[in-house]
């Protein structure tokens, strides 16, 4: 099998994307341009440092001895008439004086002359000048048309050859844009992919079949014709496909679903056929289609009944996949994060036989992903990637890679040699909650924001059972909000209990309750909180059956516009039931709002202390919230990080004190502590 693969792997240039510019073509361009310039300057009289003479002046110069024997050439030219000649050469410069040493004045200058040479002067001139033989008619025609031929050749290499080499000629719109990846170029393997062991195991079966098909055929097994990788964005679907290309010793074609879409009708279907034709020629091989939802959406969907061009492309894809037999050895691997919009005919057995789900990584998966990406980052010895993985639930592989990169950028801002835990902590807050914005606020707005965020933090600290402690509270604007109360779950949230959902709604209404208690008025700052708690309450009533309406799902007909069925159905419940649903949602939110008022009134002193701390320090950690709630004051120090400005002489003593404080306060919360992110009240 390997002997058959070697000649196939020598043809990536025919199927892959060629270079934008060929050096050989550039060399040809230079030769053509040089030839044109040479022809121009080779003409008699070309250049600026020469003398133009008449035939009589030429004869007189010969008589005066200004032209030495052998310094000129006379060439007959029939276009000048009978006895017509073109003469060119060197003559003594009339301005030259041997007694004056002026280097700027040459001794001889170029001259040219053309016209009819009289018979009486012919012998005199020929005795000094060299007579060139008469050119043939073919030579004259060739010399006349040579510049035009060179220009035509230049245009040919500039346009025609380049378009053909790029596979984008005038008649090549239907050619596939699939690129062949080689093992030397794409060195990713399964070792470089972490956090999706089950997906790697399923995909590795495809690689094993291509390497040793008899292993499966011996017992009558048939490898799936197509493998569809499904998962949220950033989970590593495309990365896993590249790893397959690195592991498989067969040709690997990669193409995006959007590459089938073109402005010309029928191009998409033609490219599908050409892609599969390339696969047949290089079988056994793997064809990877990224973002297949761009071409494989459900037929007949959308306003107006669908898109004919896209449906033609999909039909061609369905026919080609179904037309394969088991001996062709062409396996299709596709990736998408929208499997719900794919056509059902595409997912049936015989086409995409197997669906591989690549979900968000769990704790162990996140740790393995961090270990892979941390190889390129200079981390300090105090960095514990296991704690980082524990404090980043819900992060995808791309998010974790971005976390380490942002941590490196933050460490560089502070002029560090290695990334520390507090750098990763700040990077996580930036990714999860947005970047800090130094927005100018007056004292009234800062006070409202401080009490608003203190209300959220205080209620969460009271009602939390330890699974979602307060991580940080700040009145520095982040993202679109004027302040933020950050919570950091201690584990991956796989289920939502009714009690925790009610606590979540109560915490969400804490900001509005604090404004009402302290200010005696309410503001629009709680708009985002209101939308969040209303959505949570609606899910509790309509989707999760957490009210006395019973375990009934309401609103199943709430279809999505991208499925093309928006407005096609109606609610599957009566108006009376709709009123009951609205009443239950209102009761849940109102009950938790009154509960938040009672909690804040009971802990009013702690609320004031927390708000004053926010006004003074702008940001406090979760451990400070617990200290204020239990002791009425903050006992742990607050460490502020300031961006180091380029100064000539930085204060080394202050930097040492800050670093010592950071080491002593390792367990205050967030990524820098032993616990994540703060000690549980329990």
Could you tell me what percent of the chain has a pLDDT over 70?
73
Average pLDDT over residues 458-483: 87
- pLDDT class for 560, splitting at 50, 70, 90? very low
For residues 308 and 261, what is the distance between their CA atoms, to the nearest angstrom? 12
Q: Can you give the pLDDT at residue 77?
A: 74
pLDDT digit string (tens) for 345-357? 888 887 888 888 8
pLDDT digits (tens, 9 = 90+) for 82-112: 777 788 888 877 666 666 655 666 677 888 8
Mean pLDDT of 568-592: 85
**Burial 23-36, CB ≥16 within 10 A → b, else e:** eeeeebeeebeeee
* Cα separation, 330 vs 477, whole angstroms: 54
Q: Is 111 exposed, middle or buried (0-12, 13-18, 19+ CB in 10 A)?
A: buried
Tell me the C-alpha distance between 345 and 532, whole Å. Answer: 38
Is residue 205's pLDDT more than 50? yes
Decide if 207 contacts 249 (C-beta within 8 A): no
pLDDT at 266: 67
**Which of 66-70, 535-539, 567-571, 666-670 has maximum average pLDDT?**
535-539
Exposure string for 431-442, b = 16+ CB within 10 A, e = fewer = bbbeebeeeebe
Question: 189, 329, 178, 179: which is closest to 245 by C-alpha?
Answer: 189
Nearest to 435 by CA among 424, 426, 445, 443: 426
Residues annotated as catalytic are 453
pLDDT band of 5, cuts 50, 70, 90: very low
Q: Provide long-range contacts, Cβ within 8 A and 24+ apart, for 300-303.
A: 300/564, 301/341, 301/562, 301/563, 301/564, 301/565, 302/564, 303/564
Q: Is the pLDDT of residue 459 over 90?
A: yes
CA-wise closest residue to 624 among 489, 519, 469, 398: 469
- The secondary structure element, H or E, covering residue 473 is strand 470-474
Q: How much is the average pLDDT of 201-221? A: 79
What Å distances lie between residue 47 and 5, 41, 44, 500, CA to CA? Answer: 60, 7, 9, 91
**pLDDT tens sequence across 364-396:** 888 999 998 898 889 988 888 988 888 888 888
Cβ neighbours around 61 below 10 Å, total? 21
**Does the model's pTM come out above 0.75?**
no
Cα angle, residue 430 at apex, residues 424 and 436 outer, rounded to 5°: 125
Tell me the mean pLDDT in the region 180-203.
Answer: 74
- pLDDT of res. 53: 80
Cβ-proximal residues to 53 (8 Å cutoff; 6+ apart), any chain: 61, 111, 112, 113
**Coil, strand or helix at 365:** helix
The 8 Å CB, 24+ separation contacts for 586-590 are 588/502, 588/505, 588/537, 588/540, 588/541, 588/547, 589/505, 589/509, 589/533, 589/534, 589/537
Q: What is the pLDDT of residue 316?
A: 81
Predicted local distance difference test score (pLDDT) of residue 169: 43
Least confident of 3-17, 202-216, 267-281: 3-17
Higher-confidence residue of 141 and 264: namely 141
| Mean pLDDT (whole number) for 291-297 | 84
Residue 682 is predicted with a pLDDT of: 30
Q: Tally Cβ neighbours within 10 Å of residue 544.
A: 15
Mean pLDDT within 488-496: 80
Count the neighbouring beta carbons within 10 Å of the beta carbon of residue 50: 16
**Hey, which residues does 90 pair with through a beta bridge?**
110
């Amino acid at each position: 099998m390997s002997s058959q693969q070697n000649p196939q792997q020598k043809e990536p240039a025919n199927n892959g994307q060629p270079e934008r510019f060929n050096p050989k073509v550039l060399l040809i361009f230079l030769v053509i341009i040089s030839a044109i310039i040479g022809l121009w300057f080779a003409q008699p009289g070309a250049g600026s440092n020469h003398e133009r003479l008449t035939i009589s002046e030429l004869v007189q110069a010969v008589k005066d001895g200004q032209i030495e024997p052998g310094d000129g050439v006379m060439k007959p030219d029939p276009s000048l008439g009978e006895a017509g000649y073109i003469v060119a050469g060197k003559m003594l410069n009339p301005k030259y004086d041997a007694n004056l040493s002026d280097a700027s004045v040459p001794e001889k200058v170029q001259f040219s002359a053309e016209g009819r040479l009289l018979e009486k002067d012919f012998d005199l001139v020929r005795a000094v000048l060299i007579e060139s033989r008469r050119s043939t008619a073919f030579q004259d025609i060739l010399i006349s048309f040579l510049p035009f031929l060179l220009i035509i050749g230049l245009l040919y290499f500039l346009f025609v050859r380049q378009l053909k080499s790029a596979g984008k000629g005038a008649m090549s719109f239907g050619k596939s844009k699939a690129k062949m990846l080689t093992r030397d170029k794409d060195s990713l393997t399964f070792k470089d992919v972490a956090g999706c062991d089950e997906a790697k195991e399923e995909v590795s079966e495809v690689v094993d079949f291509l390497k040793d098909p008899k292993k499966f055929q011996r017992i009558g097994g048939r490898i799936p014709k197509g493998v569809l990788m499904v998962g949220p964005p950033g989970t590593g679907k495309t990365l896993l496909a590249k790893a397959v290309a690195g592991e498989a010793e067969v040709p690997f074609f990669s193409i995006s679903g959007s590459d089938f879409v073109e402005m010309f009708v029928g191009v998409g279907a033609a490219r599908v056929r050409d892609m599969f034709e390339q696969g047949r020629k290089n079988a056994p091989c793997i064809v990877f289609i990224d973002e297949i939802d761009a071409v494989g959406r459900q037929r007949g969907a959308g306003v107006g009944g669908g898109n004919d061009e896209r449906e033609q492309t999909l039909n061609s894809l369905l026919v080609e996949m179904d037309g394969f037999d088991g001996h062709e050895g062409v396996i299709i691997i596709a990736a998408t994060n929208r499997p719900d919009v794919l056509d059902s005919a595409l997912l049936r057995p015989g086409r995409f036989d197997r669906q591989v789900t690549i979900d968000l990584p769990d704790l162990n998966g996140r740790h393995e992903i961090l270990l892979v990406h941390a190889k390129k980052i200079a981390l300090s010895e105090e960095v514990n990637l296991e704690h980082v993985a524990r404090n980043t639930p819900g992060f995808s592989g791309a998010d974790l890679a971005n976390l380490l990169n942002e941590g490196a950028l933050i460490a560089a801002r502070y002029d560090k040699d290695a990334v520390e835990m507090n750098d990763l902590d700040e990077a996580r807050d930036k990714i999860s909650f947005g970047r800090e914005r130094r927005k100018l606020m007056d004292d009234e707005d800062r006070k409202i924001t401080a009490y608003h965020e203190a209300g959220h933090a205080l209620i969460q600290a009271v009602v939390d059972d330890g699974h979602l402690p307060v991580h940080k509270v700040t009145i520095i604007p982040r993202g679109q909000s004027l302040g933020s109360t950050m919570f950091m779950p201690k584990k991956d949230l796989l289920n939502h209990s009714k009690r925790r959902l009610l606590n979540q709604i109560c915490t969400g209404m804490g900001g509005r309750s604090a404004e009402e208690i302290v200010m005696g008025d309410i503001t629009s700052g709680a708009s985002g909180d209101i939308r969040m708690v209303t959505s949570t309450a609606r899910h509790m009533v309509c989707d999760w059956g957490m009210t006395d309406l019973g375990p009934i799902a309401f609103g199943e007909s709430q279809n999505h516009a991208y499925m093309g069925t928006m407005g096609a159905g109606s609610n599957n419940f009566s108006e009376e039931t709709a009123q009951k649903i609205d009443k239950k949602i209102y009761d849940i939110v109102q009950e938790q709002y009154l509960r938040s008022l009672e909690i804040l009134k009971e802990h009013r002193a702690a609320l004031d202390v927390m708000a004053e701390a926010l006004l003074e320090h702008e940001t406090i950690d979760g451990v400070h919230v617990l200290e204020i709630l239990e002791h009425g004051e903050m006992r742990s120090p607050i460490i502020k990080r300031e961006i180091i400005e380029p100064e000539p002489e930085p204060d080394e003593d202050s930097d040492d004190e800050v670093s010592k404080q950071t080491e002593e306060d390792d367990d205050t919360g967030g990524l820098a502590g032993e616990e994540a992110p703060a000690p549980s009240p329990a």
